[in-house]
Amino acid sequence: MIALIQRVREAHVTIDSVRVGRIGPGLVALVAAVPDDTEQTAQRLAERVLAYRIFADEQGRMNHGAIAVGAGVLAVPQFTLAADTRRGNRPGFSRACPPDRAAPLFDTFVAELQQRHAPIETGRFGADMQVGLVNDGPVTFWLESY
């Protein structure tokens, strides 16, 4: 699985003009599944997202993960992260996991987050979502889990 994580001061996701998720300081995790992913891959990615040290310690160095600082996490499914952009001017999506497999993997990812930490908010798989955020830093990392 792939996650693009961003440290944020605040973030929210809206679907059909209804705010369905909102966090204060924390992480936005845009998440995509690829064909070889399994439940274990989803669980491992959730562990990495929560433990990834991108929050400042007392000296201002990135030494703390989301759990250590009590940061919120907004998880948003985003299959376009798995796009093949190597050629041409149009992305290809053959490297993305089909929706019928990707949705349960995203659910497993979220369940693992919720089992380990709170607050966890989410977008909705397959929905047309508007995501608003204030990137802090900016600090953005690409994580993969195999």
pTM of the model: 0.95
Indicate which residue of 40, 80, 115, 130 is catalytic. Answer: 80
pLDDT (tens digit per residue) in 75-91: 999 999 999 999 999 99
C-beta of residue 3 within 8 angstroms of C-beta of residue 143: yes
Sign of CA dihedral 32, 132, 125, 80: negative
Q: Euclidean distance between the first and final Cα of the chain, in Å?
A: 7
Q: What is the pLDDT of residue 145?
A: 85
- Catalytic site includes residue 40: no
Indicate which residue of 6, 43, 79, 109 is catalytic. Answer: 79
Tell me the C-alpha distance between 38 and 34, whole Å.
9
Give domain 2-144's CATH superfamily: D-tyrosyl-tRNA(Tyr) deacylase (3.50.80.10)
pLDDT (tens digit per residue) in 107-145: 999 999 999 999 999 999 999 999 999 999 999 999 998
- Catalytic site includes residue 125: no
Q: Which residues contact 4 (CB under 8 A, 6 or more apart)?
A: 29, 30, 78, 81, 140, 141, 142, 143
